Structure 1
């Protein structure tokens, strides 16, 4: 630094002070740089002073602070809850890592070289929503035997899953229709963890499952033998000690016709609404008034104009219907046209009105999380309404979101009452392959993948989703992680006790 001497030396004094400050700062910066870039010294202790964040799930970015970490991450290991964290980098006074999944116990352990430090404070693990396998077993090529009856851990291949439905009188029994000629109906006992097969003589295929207000089962059964064939059948409920009340039930035809691949019971009226694929028409049948065997023919049956409810915009495409829990409206899932319609219930006429699009666009197969007709979906499958506690607390007019499988996008999507479409689960593991399908389990968005999911169910009591993952020949499960039995009810750590005081 060059300074000129002036009167009273004031400028010179200022220059000296500036030089001193510059030297101190330079020395400080040099010391700091040396500390963060210095190699690990095995003759000096490793110290750990803190970590952040204090709580969270797996795959969370964590920074551990201290000294003498060095910069060689190959000699550094971090465990959280006894599980290995991924060490990303080290800079002498800090270690950057990613927390492991399911690290419930929470102890943070740092090892550098031969030195190990265990922190007194634990990481408070917050269970995440994760995808796991419930049942289904095939090899890498998708080959496997079908087991008619067996435990979940040895139940063989799950073929052609199409539609789930819980028995309204036995919440542990979940029925699955299979759009397949050889075994149209499967029964899952979630308590016993067993899967069974229900024979339906002379029925080639089943699609949707719905329930009368008395608890009998109605199945849509697409047939190709003309208008005189049955397109909906009904199984009357029996009684059994194991909850399989339809074990001995034989079906009877409820309505006749061809090309019906979707039906539902409207809660308010108890009427059956069923579709006719070829025309895009939806008909209604009050079997409470007309009995279980009046059997109108579709199309061109006697008196049928009185049964016509509405039509959808597209013909010769598959679609199905799901009523809102209140019955105020239904969603119509246009499987092959890539959009979802809504039809409202008219309290005066006691009928459903002409539907309108709430998300997606006819023929616009794509993947976009947007709003309403700007959103894009690709072959949507089954959907379910799920109570949103936040809507309820805010006293909104509609308390339910609609979750649905987006088959060709290999994920589960969510449609809010405001028409917002977002991705709930699937399409994770971005670094594994460039494809969006797979069979990875784990955290619902960052890790998990599906392969053409179609069927979907939701258990409100356990907050659990069940997914018929057709491309993986499995039934998958989405739920919050459960702590191991040996950690349930464990004594809280000292830090937890201090926080609670």
Structure 2
């Protein structure tokens, strides 16, 4: 904010020169009315500079309040005929109100006849959830205004048939599925842990027709015959719940994620055991319930490797490599995000064999978690720290340029406390989070400008809402679901940059 502050002072100096005949040092006169004659600019967004002109403002900033759209603005300076400040967040209704409290405590207030045209900016906001001082808020489901929880690592997914529903798979003992209903602004515990035999859940995928949800589970209680992926059938009304049919699709051990090829529909899942990536045909599962050509009853589907339910494609490196697979919308390649080794691989798709091929490093450096880093750069010069879930998002600029690949890959960089993205050229950039602060922390709960105000803490899940052009982020150590997109009127959005009066954890001016 220091640059904006200096810029505002420069504007003030120019304005003073143009108003040299006006005595700007006249104190407030309680016997005269306060007037607002105009403001410039007449439109803008959060943190933009604004000059409000009028009369009888006085010169004591401590006596003066400026509100825009009912939100308190930060004032820089006050003169008798003008005041300088910053547009507050969420000033949607646009009323410009000046209030002066005189030395006797009497209130003098005026509202401009003209409204400020507030323009929404892309910010980080809080969709729902909170954390009290003792972190004792517990788990409460219901309205976004009161719900709490969101206190475990996990991954997110948007329902392809009902895009107002966002699902969260929780990676903890007795993992369960939660739902965020964006239309009703309600949260709920969707499917309980006993539907998945009280095991860790890693992520969610969907069959290409959207009829089935696939849920990966991380377990080894039955050796290499432990369920790796569950297949969940929608209820008749299109919902998922504890009443939904939930069957074991494939079984091996220690699965970290599942993905479905967007064109051909085959399923990919992995194992932490040896860093394997497996492939299975979803059609084989459905055909197993059909009678044979001889009219015999079908053989029972086990989902086991020994019974030919799936096969291994490759190992990414060594045992104990934890990774998730995100397939490009074209199906031509996939990224393997190696969570516990701080790097991301790419595997290209063989369209003849209909399978992915041996992967190679795209960004980051293969290292243990203690040697992660934060460097925005190209390819292996970039440094990551526990990269987690990712999602491909179409970039309109690439489309306009006629590029072959028009998608960026956004991912949660967990212990770098930020959201980053990879361009098709392999350049890593930080998109949101890691705003500066007075105490030096790069983590926090602040909403606001993507890089100058917003901070996260241990993000894992991310989903992109194409309908609303918005990201949702599981910020589990802050016990919140955050959003990244245009400001929302009905969310907890953007604290004002009020000279760090809120304590050491408030972003500093810079």
TM-superposed deviation, 1:112:
6.5
Match of 1:325 among 329, 334, 350: 329
With 399-408 and 358-367 compared, the bigger mean Cα shift is at 358-367
Task: Give the Cα separation in 1 of the matches to 2:480 and 2:68.
Answer: 32
Which residue does 1:128 correspond to in 2? 121
Task: State the SS of the aligned residue for 2:477.
Answer: helix
Matches of residues 340-359 of structure 1 in structure 2 within 5 Å? 340-359=344-363
Matches of residues 51-130 of structure 1 in structure 2 within 5 Å? 51-64=39-52, 71-90=59-78, 95-110=83-98, 119=112, 121-130=114-123
Task: Give the Cα separation in 2 of the matches to 1:351 and 1:340.
Answer: 19
TM-superposed deviation, 1:198:
0.9
Confirm or deny: 8 A CA contact 1:223 1:229 kept in the other structure.
no
TM-superposed deviation, 1:65:
5.7
CA RMSD after TM alignment: 3.3
- When normalised by structure 1's length, the TM-score is 0.79
**How far does the alpha carbon of each residue in 1:128-161 deviate from its partner, in whole angstroms, 9 at most, with x for none?**
22333333354223223334x5443444422314
Confirm or deny: 8 A CA contact 1:339 1:359 kept in the other structure.
yes
TM-superposed deviation, 1:290:
5.7
Which residue does 2:430 correspond to in 1? 423
Match of 1:224 among 212, 220, 224: 220
| Cα distance, 1:465–1:39 mapped onto 2, change above 3 Å | same
| Cα distance, 1:207–1:275 mapped onto 2, change above 3 Å | same
- When normalised by structure 2's length, the TM-score is 0.78
Task: State the SS of the aligned residue for 1:345.
Answer: strand
Which residue does 1:40 correspond to in 2? 27
Task: State the SS of the aligned residue for 1:283.
Answer: strand
Larger Cα-atom Rg: 1
Matches of residues 271-290 of structure 1 in structure 2 within 5 Å? 271-289=266-284
Which residue does 1:164 correspond to in 2? 156
Matches of residues 65-464 of structure 1 in structure 2 within 5 Å? 71-90=59-78, 95-110=83-98, 119=112, 121-147=114-140, 150-192=142-184, 193-199=186-192, 200-214=195-209, 215-225=211-221, 227-241=223-237, 243-289=238-284, 293-297=301-305, 301=306, 307-363=311-367, 365-428=372-435, 430-431=436-437, 433-464=439-470
Task: State the SS of the aligned residue for 2:283.
Answer: helix
Confirm or deny: 8 A CA contact 1:324 1:330 kept in the other structure.
yes
Task: Give the Cα separation in 2 of the matches to 1:48 and 1:265.
Answer: 60
Q: Higher RCO, 1 or 2 (CA under 8 Å, sep at least 6)?
A: 2
Confirm or deny: 8 A CA contact 1:342 1:355 kept in the other structure.
yes
| Cα distance, 1:95–1:314 mapped onto 2, change above 3 Å | farther
Task: Give the Cα separation in 2 of the matches to 1:194 and 1:290.
Answer: 33
| Cα distance, 1:321–1:96 mapped onto 2, change above 3 Å | same
TM-superposed deviation, 1:163:
1.1
**How far does the alpha carbon of each residue in 1:212-254 deviate from its partner, in whole angstroms, 9 at most, with x for none?**
234322222111235333242333424333x324542343322
Aligned length: 449
